[in-house]
Amino acid sequence: MEKIIGIGNTIVDILARLEGNKMPCQKQLPKGQKTLNDASKVQISDITPTLFEDVTMVHIEGTLAKNHDLVEAICQTAMEQSVQISLDLADKNIVAANLPFFQHLVQDCVDVVIANEEEAKAFTGKEDALDALRAIAAYKCLAVVKLGSKGACTRLGAEEVMLKAQDVSVVDTTAAGIFFDAGFLYALDRGASLKDCLSLGTCLAEHIVGVAGTQLSDDVWQEIRKKC
């Protein structure tokens, strides 16, 4: 059963490794060999109820918000199928340029909002990360703000948790965001506490920033799975 899928991101590849599989079982779109993580190839006509069969959550990359109609189609179809929606704000400039649309998505569609400090600021206008976190959570969603080397924080209703990051050697931060998202959502989908969701998210991010590129070795994945 493919419980979490991603559109516009590679989260399924990471989730497959968390499950102990080397090859992701990414859903194929109806035409050809296109996959959901290649946002440039996804069309509105591809977004059908079939995509969400046996799915509990869809994770959307915020960069897709430049195509309002596509994101609306994803959200509406997911909601019709009772699939939860997670949104990573992804880019502060895109958030700023499409702010009313993002506000609509968070108000009306999205269950989980994930952002870094700059994206959270662009969305809320709040300078302080915790103030921004609380402003996002006020939309009645699960809010997560990634704080880089300082860790991450999350809030749902009145429950707020902050987790400090470990002091690690940083080689490349390219994939830190999506690795955090994968760990957090993997734990959330399995009913973990907010603290444990943050722990797995930061664990994955801390491992990937220590290597160049976007891949971890089999030995490292085995070590991570022992912590899950």
- Note the pLDDT tens digit of each residue in 90-113: 999 999 999 999 999 999 999 999
Could you give the number of structural domains in the chain? 1
| Confidence check: pLDDT of 148 > 60 | yes
Domain that holds residue 60: 4-227
| Confidence check: pLDDT of 155 > 90 | yes
Residue 18 maps to which CATH number?
Answer: 3.40.1190.20
Average pLDDT over residues 46-50: 92
Most confident by average pLDDT, 2-16, 24-38, 178-192: 178-192
Q: At what angle do helices 218-227 and 194-208 cross, to 10 degrees?
A: 160
Of residues 51 and 32, more confidence is placed in 51
User: Both tokens of residue 132?
Assistant: 């921004």
Rounded to whole angstroms, how far apart are CA atoms 3 and 83? 10
| Confidence check: pLDDT of 185 > 60 | yes
| Confidence check: pLDDT of 228 > 70 | no
pLDDT value for 1: 41
- By CB atoms closer than 10 A (0-12, 13-18, 19+), residue 18 is middle
| Confidence check: pLDDT of 37 > 80 | no
